[in-house]
Structure 1
């Protein structure tokens, strides 16, 4: 790869991070159709490039790795909300999150952004990954964030998956899952 291409990729990562930081917590975890449309318009192409593995070289610097995780984990949840593609790159995000944490990248970014290294674990439909999510997120020392991690873990302990994803993923919903959803259970 040429030095020019690498420099451009790093600039792309910086754009992703700047956008995400500017959006802030008010938009990160709240459904907002205008924000979702903005994310879709500006970052869909980069998301698909990341999904194809074109940004694997972003795993050499903490900020670039964080941008890669955003493109694979958070960006699709906004850009493709309500579709199966919102979750299509979860496995890849988890793969890179494990590498990033092993390299200590999570400790090299601001505390506010550190959470995004851990959310791929929280989004996994796997008990071991959920346990790791709770451990990582609890260490942040934020009660509300820890509460959400525990809630995700409890859903996986109970159902082995996130029932709110069933419809878009073409999975049959059990009676118990439907009751959970009808009673206001976690909806993503």
Structure 2
């Protein structure tokens, strides 16, 4: 059994903010080797006791929302636990567990909302970053707004379609061909 402290020590201390959003196959492989079994266990309903306190909920969210994106790039399993992570994030935020975790780690309570293909979740993510992350929120705000714009335009993330076996519309194919998410970020940056 994996302990929440193992996840937090690895992700927050060893990898740290500079490595959280890099695409690095070595890191991805390390996460698979150390935490694939724990992710499978979480998907089967184990680790529910972690959800009873702030640092446990944080570890659970990293395990179910962030780690699969590293372990399973271009694979539907990258998104397999999204509904679980989103529900846990909402519950933890309601209990204000997020406010008991220091920035920048606090952002992992909000990322399941940013990863959601639901506009209401997107709006909430932007609002939470503005309200509850005064120091590090602005760094993430651009990406939260970009995710929200994609959901406003398409109701889903077109760049997930191939991995999820979804049919892309002509508008989605044009969007991806013209730079996709990166183009949305650039447009928002230019507007600031």
Tell me whether the two structures share a fold, i.e. TM-score over 0.5: yes
Correspondence 1:116 to 2:111: no
Contact 2:129 2:138 in 1 (8 A): no
Pairwise CA RMSD: 1.2
Q: Tell me the secondary structure at the aligned position of residue 104 of structure 1.
A: coil
CA distance in 1, matches of 2:152, 2:165: 21
Matching residue of 1:173: 168
Q: Tell me the secondary structure at the aligned position of residue 104 of structure 2.
A: helix
**What is the correspondence of 1:25-174 to structure 2 with a 5 Å cutoff?**
25-139=17-131, 140-141=133-134, 142-174=137-169
CA distance in 2, matches of 1:117, 1:53: 19
CA distance in 2, matches of 1:138, 1:80: 30
Matching residue of 1:5: none
Q: CA deviation at 1:144?
A: 2.7
Q: Which TM-score applies when normalising by structure 2?
A: 0.89
Q: Which TM-score applies when normalising by structure 1?
A: 0.91
CA distance in 2, matches of 1:31, 1:166: 20
Matching residue of 1:18: 9
Matching residue of 1:3: none
Q: Deviations over 1:135-172 (max 9, x none)?
A: 11222233231010000000000000000000010001
Q: CA deviation at 1:110?
A: 1.1
Gaps of 5+ in 2: 183-192
Detail structure 1 runs of 4+ shifted over 3 Å in the superposition.
Answer: none
Q: What is the aligned residue count?
A: 178
Q: Which moved more, 1:178-187 or 1:32-41?
A: 178-187
